Structure formats: structure tokens, C-alpha cells
Amino acid sequence: MPEEVALAKEVRALARQIARAVKKPVQFMEVCGTHAHAVGRLGLRQLLPEKLTLLSGPGCPVCVTPTGEIDWALELAATPEITVATFGDMIRVPGSRQSLADLRAQGANIQVVYSPMQALELAVEHSDRQWVFIGVGFETTAPTVAATIQTAARQGADNFSVLCCHKLIPPAMRALLAAGEVRIDGFLAPGHVSAILGLEPYQAVADEYHVPCVVAGFEAHDILRALLALARQVREKRAAVENEYERTVRPEGNPLARAVMEEVFEIVDARWRGLGVLPQSGYALREKYARFDAVRRYGLRPSNAGEHPLCHCGEVLRGVRRPLDCPAFADACTPEHPLGPCMVSSEGACAASYRYERIGK
């Protein structure tokens, strides 16, 4: 396995460079569930110097979906004439009272799909029923959902709609900095989201708050290289936007995908779990596509349903508390009996810690 040996060597060399670059204690934050899991799976924290803390932020789309929106999905699924189509990740997330998995076991019509297009195809095939796709995700998933809505409009698929819970990452980054509750010396910017957005949205973050942002891929060397870039910027007191994932992320992003989103969605204020309502931080369907909007079609009422009283997901999502420091972690809260979404979503920070990092616990 010569390539692997070489890779391991490169990774260790990067770790040594990071250790040399970090003089004073620093805190960096990733805002991407895939990063959180890669860090756990690869055991990367073991390679970082003690002075460098890598926090998880609001980067798991299922986790930031507030309980009220989960309850909407449950309400729809409990309606006999509706079939709810969703990514598998949402199935076991607890709402105020139960989860989609509980409802499905009671006979509700819930279909796990791998793409929104598959949901639309099912709706066309079974046109005697109403189909609602649960649109959860950041700028990575939103374009395919937008394209699906365009297709539905073209085909006149009147039995299809979307519960749009899509959210935007840069406003959440700014909100965390504005609140100042947790010190963030740099952001590990998400690879997939950046492939759509490009680098421009991070510039505002870097300029306004003087915090460096470095886009990172998902291999060990990608992540460490980005952390090294952040450490060097901090040492040199710079706050720039850098791209350490050039093989996938172009500076201008993917304008085509953005145009599709722009055509279908408008940017609105949105409620996040743990962060409250953030201005201009979510997508809603434009008037033109109102008939595909499940919220309007079924007259769903806003709800302020909160988290489970024992759950600290909000603090975990703000980077204020590490999953291992939640009293319920691996005790009252496990992947089998989750109190919050961070423990069940495959991208959740608590799930990553539970799966990979319980060595000392």
C-alpha cells in the first residue's frame, strides 16, 4: 500500500507543521456535518496540538431544523392522503412527541428517497395520492430541490409539494460571530456548500469580523492543510478567504446551480435550532411556485416547540458545548434513544462523537 503509507506520512508532516504554527491557544470551527464526521472517523483530533481546539458548529442540516419544522413533517405524515418522502436521515429525529419512524410503524405513509427527483417520480407514478418531499439541507441540496420543483411545474405534477426547510450557511457563521458567545479564530469552510456558493460569501465574514475562512475538502490531508492555513493566518494576524479544495471548488462556485435556486426560492428570515430566528438565512418558495409549497398548500401554522428539556443540541450547534460535555451524552441520549437530532442525524456532532470518540468514556 505505498500510496497509503505516503499519505499517512504527508498527514503526519502536516500535523507537525500545524503544531509549529500554533503559538497561542486557538479555536477553529467547522460548519459542515461531513467535516465533523470525517474528523471523528479519521481520529484527526489526536493529531492536533493541544493548543488547537476544533469545534463543531451548525453544520448539520437536519440538526439545525427546529422542532417546529420536524413537527410539520410529522403532521403531514399523519395525514392519511399524504405520503411523505424524505432522506433517511430525518426518519428517527424526534419531534415534540414522536418521530417519523414511530409514525411509520403506526401505518403512516413515509418513503425514504435518495433524491428529490426520486420523490417526484414516485408522485407521478402514484398520482392518486399527495406527495410531500421534506426539503432539508443547505446550499448543497437546495439546487436539486429547486430543479425538482421546476420539473414538477413543467410536468404539472399537482400532487407534489415540498416542505421547504432549507437554510443558508454564511448567515449562521455571521450570527455566531455577532453573538460573540464563543471565541472563533477561524472557520473551516464547508467544501460542498462552497462548490455552489464560491468564495465570495465568506469575504464578508472575513472582512466584517476579521476572522479567516479556509475552504476544506474531506480527506485527512485536505482538512489538515486547511487547518494549517488557518493557523498561519492567525499567527500573521491576517483574515483572508482561502481555498484549499481547489480540485472541487471554483472561486465563482456554480452560477448555474445558484440561478436555479434564485428562480425558485426567495431568501427569508428563518428559525434555526439553537440560534433562533436569523435574518435572511433560509429559503422559501417564490409566489410563482406557491402551489408546490407544502406550508401554504396545507396551511401549516408556525410553532415555537422547543427542544427536549434535557437536550443541549442548541449549545452544541453554537459550539458552546462539546457533545462529550452534554450530561445526557451516551447516557439518557444514545443513537437508539436520541433526545435530540444531533445524536441521530448521520451528520450530527453528537453522533460523530458517539460513534468514534468515546475512547475515554
Partner 1 sequence: MAERITLAHGGGGVQMQELIRRELLPACDETLGRALEDAALLPGAERIVLTTDSYVVRPAVFPGGDLGRLAVCGTVNDLAMRGAQPAYLSLGLIVEEGTEIELLRTVMRSVQKTCVETGVKLVTGDFKVVEKHSGDGIFANTTGVGFLRSRSAPSVSRARPGDKVLLNGPLGQHGVAILAARGELTLQATVESDCAPLSDLVEALLEAGGDGVHTLHDPTRGGLAAALNEIAQTAGVAVEVSERNFPRDPGVEGACDLLGLDRLQVANEGKLVALVAPEVAEPVLEAMRGHASGRQAALIGEALEGPAGRVTLRTVLGTRRIVDSPSGELLPRIC
Residues that bind ligand SF4 (CB under 6 A): 310-313, 316, 323, 326, 328-329, 333, 338-340, 342-343, 350
Residue 104, contacted partner among ligand SF4, partner 1, none, CB below 5-8 A by kind = partner 1
In the complex, the residues that contact partner 1 under the rule CB under 8 A are: 1, 4, 7-8, 11-12, 34, 40-44, 46-47, 88, 91-92, 98, 101-102, 104-106, 114, 118, 220, 334-336, 344, 346, 354-359
First to last CA, the chain: 33
Q: How many C-beta neighbours within 10 Å does residue 226 have?
A: 28
Q: Closest approach of Cβ 51 to ligand SF4, in Å?
A: 26
Q: Which is nearer to partner 1, 12 or 210 (CB)?
A: 12
Q: How far is the CB of 323 from ligand SF4 (least distance, A)?
A: 5
Q: How far is the CB of 95 from partner 1 (least distance, A)?
A: 13
Name residues whose C-beta falls within 8 Å of residue 128's C-beta, 6 or more positions apart in sequence. none
Q: Please identify, using beta-carbon distances, which residue of 284 and 317 lies nearer to ligand SF4.
A: 317
Instruction: For residue 45, give the C-alpha cell.
Output: 483530533
Give the residue with the Cβ less far from ligand SF4, 257 or 316.
316
Q: Which does 256 bind (CB under 5 to 8 A by kind): partner 1, ligand SF4, none?
A: none
From ligand SF4, partner 1, none, interface partner of 357 (C-beta below 5 to 8 A by class)? partner 1
Q: How far is the CB of 318 from ligand SF4 (least distance, A)?
A: 11
Burial 31-55 (b: 16+ CB within 10 A, else e): bbbbbbbbbbebebeebbeeebbbb
Binding site partner of 8, from partner 1, ligand SF4, none, Cβ cut-off 5-8 A by kind = partner 1
Cβ proximity to partner 1, 121 vs 242, nearer residue: 121
Shortest spacing between CB 100 and partner 1, in angstroms? 10
Closer to ligand SF4 by CB, 215 or 343: give it: 343
- CA–CA separation, 207 and 41 (whole Å): 33
Shortest Å, Cβ 280 to partner 1: 30
Q: Which residues of 165-177 are buried (b: 16+ CB within 10 A; e: fewer)?
A: bbbbbbbbbbbbb
Sole residue written with cell 460535555: 325
Q: Which does 106 bind (CB under 5 to 8 A by kind): ligand SF4, partner 1, none?
A: partner 1
Closest Cα partner for 350 from 317, 318, 301, 320?
317
DSSP-derived secondary structure for 325-342? GSTTBTTTB-SSS-SSHH
- DSSP assignment letter at 216: E
Beta pairing, strands 52-56 & 26-30: parallel
- In whole angstroms, the minimum distance from the beta carbon of 324 to ligand SF4 comes to 9
Residue 238 is which amino acid?
R
Cβ proximity to ligand SF4, 92 vs 166, nearer residue? 92
Q: Which residues touch 234 (CB under 8 Å, ≥6 apart)?
A: 22, 26, 185, 186, 212
- Return the number of other C-beta atoms located less than 10 Å from residue 155's C-beta: 12
Cα four-point dihedral sign 277, 280, 281, 287: positive
| Closest CB 8 distance from partner 1, rounded Å | 5
By beta-carbon proximity to partner 1, the closer residue of 8 and 277 is 8
Residue 313 binds which entry of ligand SF4, partner 1, none, CB below 5-8 Å type-dependent: ligand SF4
Question: Could you say which DSSP state residue 311 is in?
Answer: -
Cβ at position 358, least distance to partner 1 in Å: 5
Q: At 171, phi and psi to the nearest 5? A: -60, -35
Residue 36 partner contact from ligand SF4, partner 1, none using kind-dependent CB cut-offs of 5 to 8 Å: none
Q: From the list ligand SF4, partner 1, none, which binds 108 (C-beta under 5 to 8 Å, kind-based)?
A: none
CB 35 within 8 A of CB 109: no
